[in-house]
Chain A
């Protein structure tokens, strides 16, 4: 690292906190200070910058130890309020994960809610089964506990505090329900997450001060960073951290169980990191504004790992509540709470001011060059183009019902795509439509065709189309290109080829 004009150690800053003359500001205040005084001036003046975020962090959960029953049990499976916890460890240890669903209440209650109920001091029904051993003979147990009855309740989150996250929208002509919330059709809205200028990891993206052992605000108590988070991708400004803290000391205001509609349950985690301003480099990064924090506006309408990116947006645009897509303003929803993120940064500032919180020098730095790899797959996933029928019999809107009836009688299929002179799909007619047309004395296909057709494209994964067939209760979809020209047809008959072991 290059030499810096300002050099302060964490120990010196802690000494100032102890004396009561440390200058502590929130990251939002720091943006203004750096703008006014420059990074060197800001580094000379400010000792600590506090950050905060309050958002859905699915990779969260808690380790619990229930103590031993008499006679003792080696829990093989355990449920807390009907939500299963992982117990493939020692006899009465279990990990309750935020996204695990209740076996009786589904999406309305999950591991995140169990964690919130524990913090609130509510009674939790514990049910466990076991195979029984000579030392642990008991095969089942049911009891009721609160956080005071159990030995340890430790919040232990494998992936928290994403430095930033993509913003989501939806190109499809139907509403979709994603982990980024409800996305309206035809780019009808945009959702995003993260606190931008207050985002903890975005304020020290080079990990000069944040590392293993950093003391943080976690769920209303003091917690720690103990590793880089899973999927840590610092080179793409998508760093993450693993965090740990005593659940028994936490506050449900900063740890809330939640439901994302038609997606699942999660845990909203409140987290803040105090950043010691050890030099002007750190002053500069803590002073980055929402206008300079960019993320990708991504199309969640395409259910692939690499979803198409529409364009870059700044957190300033996102926070304004409107984002322009193709010249039209789309309303924006934040999924994380900026108001509560500010509250957390303010609490950290207050704790430090009142000498209740001191900064820690990390014992190791977090990696700055790690990449996030995709899953290694050993079987190929089929796409629409691999299974669709290309040789499609079609008709024109002006064709007669009789001619269509003849086609259905001669060929063994149920869907007749209707195209215009340029080959564009204009509708579809099924054998059932023809039966109805004959019964009601209709003459032309234009009188019976369905114009609102559910379609697929060639590069879609088969799973996505199978989901669509199921959702709309249909047995086939025409395959079209971007211009709406008919390329083929995919029916449930084509899908059944998969079960027949067809190789690509």
Chain B
């Protein structure tokens, strides 16, 4: 299962933290989104690996002074309500919402970065974000 962790960089650092974690663990850390300003920033990672490896990644970032938050929110597409218009599709920045060959709207949650743009765009409120 893909787990998603949010790295919070609070101070300026010149160290290649992300690169060194990738090197040390040998895991493919997929950057879903990143944003940096003058006072640090954040990176959302998706890691498709066994739980113990992901836990090791989290431990390494913590040791390097990065705040970690595991994202456990879930976006849900209510297939009973959805009528496959596709209003959400062009708003989804990562292709997590997509249309199959027969024009059914589907959700690939692993790709979702929880930008929430799609939620209000659904005319029948078939997309919901639950936080737990």
Contacts and interface: CB of A to CB of B under 8 A. Distances in A.
Contacts of B124: 256-259, 268
A339 B84 contact: yes
Nearest to A342: B103
B40 interface: no
Contacts of B86: 333-335, 337-338
Interface string A90-124: 00000000000000000000000000000000000
A260 B85 contact: no
B71 interface: no
A166 to B, nearest CB: 16
B125 A191 contact: no
A333 B120 CA distance: 14
B82 to A, nearest CB: 9
Interface residues of B, number: 19
A170 B120 CA distance: 19
A330 B117 CA distance: 16
Q: Which of B83, B89, B121 has the most CB of A within 10 A?
A: B83
Interface string A330-358: 11111111111010000000000000000
Contact of B85 (A182, A190, A335, A342): A335
A155 B83 CA distance: 21
Contacts of B20: none
A190 B90 contact: yes
A258 B90 CA distance: 19
Nearest to A334: B86
A340 B83 contact: yes
B123 A260 contact: yes
A184 interface: yes
Nearest to A253: B83
A56 interface: yes
Contact of A330 (B90, B102, B123, B125): B90
A337 B90 contact: no
A334 B123 contact: no
Interface in B71-88: 83-88
A110 to B, nearest CB: 12
B84 A182 contact: no
B104 interface: yes
Contact of A331 (B89, B102, B121): B89
A337 B83 contact: yes
Contacts of B84: 337-340
Contact of B91 (A182, A259, A268, A321): A182
B91 A334 contact: no
A261 B102 contact: no
B8 interface: no
A94 to B, nearest CB: 25
Contacts of A330: 90
A54 B87 CA distance: 13
B83 A268 contact: yes
A199 interface: no
Contacts of B83: 54, 256, 268, 337, 339-340
B90 A261 contact: no
Nearest to B82: A337
A161 B123 CA distance: 19
A189 interface: yes
Nearest to A56: B123
Interface in A433-458: none
Contacts of A189: 90-91
A266 B124 CA distance: 10
Given A321-B99, A339-B102, A339-B104, A333 B87 contact: yes
9 contacts: A191-B90, A257-B124, A258-B123, A258-B124, A268-B85, A335-B123, A337-B85, A337-B103, A339-B103
Interface of B: 83-91, 99, 102-104, 117, 120-121, 123-125
Given A337-B85, A339-B84, 4 more contacts: A54-B83, A268-B83, A331-B89, A339-B102
